[in-house]
Structure 1
Amino acid sequence: MNHLVNDIEVIKSKATKIHDVDFDNLAFGKVYTDHMLECNFKNGKWEEPKVVPYQPIILDPSAKIFHYGQSVFEGMKAYKDNNDDVWLFRPVDNFKRLNISSKRLAMPELPEAYFMEGLKTLLQVDKDWIPKKEGSSLYVRPFVFASGKGFHASPADEYKFIIACAPSGAYFAGKIKVLIEEKYSRSANGGVGYAKAGGNYAGQFYPTQLAIEKGYNQVIWTDDVNHENIEEAGAMNIFIRINDTLITAPTSDRILDGITRKSIIAIAEDKGIPVEVRTIKVHEVVEAAKNGSLKEMFGAGTAAVVSPISGFGYKDKDFSLPELENNYASYLKKRITDIQTNKAEDPFGWRYKV
Structure 2
Amino acid sequence: MLDIKVIRTTTPKTKPREDEPLGFGRIFTDHMFIMNYTEGKGWHDARIVPFQNISLSPAAMVYHYGQEMFEGLKAYKAEDGRTLLFRPDMNAKRAINTNKRLCIPEIPVEDFVQAVKAVVKVDEDWIPKAPGTSLYIRPFIIATDEFLGVKPSSTYMFIIILSPSGAYYESGLDPVGIWIEDEYVRAVKGGIGEAKTGGNYAASLAAQVKAHDEGYSQVLWLDGVERKYIEEVGAMNIFFKIDGVVVTPALNGSILPGVTRDSVIQLCKSWGLPVEERKISIDEIYEAQKSGKLEEVWGTGTAAVISPVGKLRWKNEVMIIQDGGIGELSQKLYDTITGIQLGKIEDIYNWTVEVK
> Is 1:329 aligned to 2:326, yes or no?
no
The CA deviation at 1:82 is 1.7
Q: CA deviation at 1:111?
A: 2.8
| TM-score between the two structures when normalised by the length of structure 1 | 0.96
- 1:46 equivalenced with 2:47 (yes/no): no
1:200 to 1:325, Cα distance in 2 relative to 1, 3 A: closer
The equivalences for 1:82-161 within 5 A come to 82-161=79-158
Corresponding position of 2:352: 351
SS in 2 for 1:46: strand
For residue 56 of structure 1, the aligned residue among 53, 57, 60 is 53
- 1:275 corresponds in structure 2 to 275
**SS of residue matched to 2:237:** strand
Q: Is the 8 A contact 1:49 1:114 kept in 2?
A: no
Matches within 5 A, 1:147-296: 147-172=144-169, 173=172, 174-296=174-296
Q: Deviations over 1:296-340 (max 9, x none)?
A: 111100000011111111121111112467611110011001111
Residue identity (%)? 41
Q: Name which of 25, 31, 45 aligns with 1:29.
A: 25
Mind listing any 5+ residue stretches in structure 1 that lack a counterpart?
Answer: none
Q: Which of 62-71 and 76-85 deviates more? A: 76-85
Deviations 1:47-104 (A, max 9, x none): 0310000000100000000000001000100001122211001101101111110110
C-alpha deviation, 1:21, in angstroms: 5.0
* One-letter code aligned to 1:76: L
| Residue aligning to 2:69 | 72
Aligned partner of 2:144: which letter?
Answer: S
Give the number of equivalent residue pairs: 350
Residue aligned with 2:45, SS: coil
SS at match of 1:31: coil
1:131 and 1:5 mapped to 2: Cα distance? Answer: 28
1:322–1:111 distance in 2 versus 1, CA, 3 Å:
closer
Cα distance in 1 for partners of 2:319, 2:267 equals 28
Provide Cα deviations, 1:90-137, integer angstroms capped at 9, x if missing partner: 101101111110110111111334322221111111010011111110
Q: Which amino acid aligns with 2:23?
A: A
Pick aligned residue for 2:5 from 5, 9, 12 = 9
CA distance in 2 between counterparts of 1:22 and 1:186 reads 39
| Structure 1 residue 24, shift from structure 2 partner | 3.4
Distance in 1, matches of 2:110 and 2:338, equals: 27
Counterpart AA for 1:55:
Q
Per-residue deviation at 1:5? 2.5
Q: Distance in 2 between matches of 1:343 and 1:18?
A: 30
Determine helix, strand or coil for the equivalent of 2:202: helix
**Amino acid of the structure 2 residue aligned with 1:37:** F
CA distance in 2, matches of 1:120, 1:181: 38
Cα drift, residue 349 of structure 1: 0.9
Deviations 1:150-173 (A, max 9, x none): 001111111000010000011122
Deviation digits for residues 27-55 of structure 1 (CA, Å, limit 9, x no counterpart): 10100000000000013311031000000
Inter-partner Cα distance in structure 2 for 1:221 and 1:337? 27
Partner Cα separation in structure 1 for residue 105 and residue 340 of structure 2: 33
How far does residue 149 in structure 1 lie from its aligned partner after superposition?
Answer: 1.1
What is the root-mean-square deviation of aligned Cα atoms in Å? 1.3
TM superposition score normalised by structure 2: 0.95
Per-residue deviation, 1:18:
3.4
SS in 2 for 1:18: coil
State whether residues 32 and 165 of structure 1, in contact with CA within 8 Å, keep that contact through their aligned partners in structure 2.
yes
Distance 2:150 2:26 in 1: 34
Task: Report if the CA contact (8 A) 1:64-1:146 is conserved.
Answer: yes
Q: Determine if contact 2:27/2:163 at 8 Å carries over to the other structure.
A: yes
* Structure 2 portions without partners, runs of 5+: none
Aligned to 1:343, what secondary structure does the other structure show?
coil
**1:177 is aligned with what amino acid?**
G
Per the alignment, do residues 124 and 325 of structure 1 end up closer, same or farther by CA in structure 2, a change over 3 Å counting?
closer
1:309 aligns with 2:303: no
Distance 1:62 1:264, change over 3 A: same
For 1:125 and 1:319, the matched residues in 2 are separated by 47
The residue type paired with residue 337 of structure 1 is T
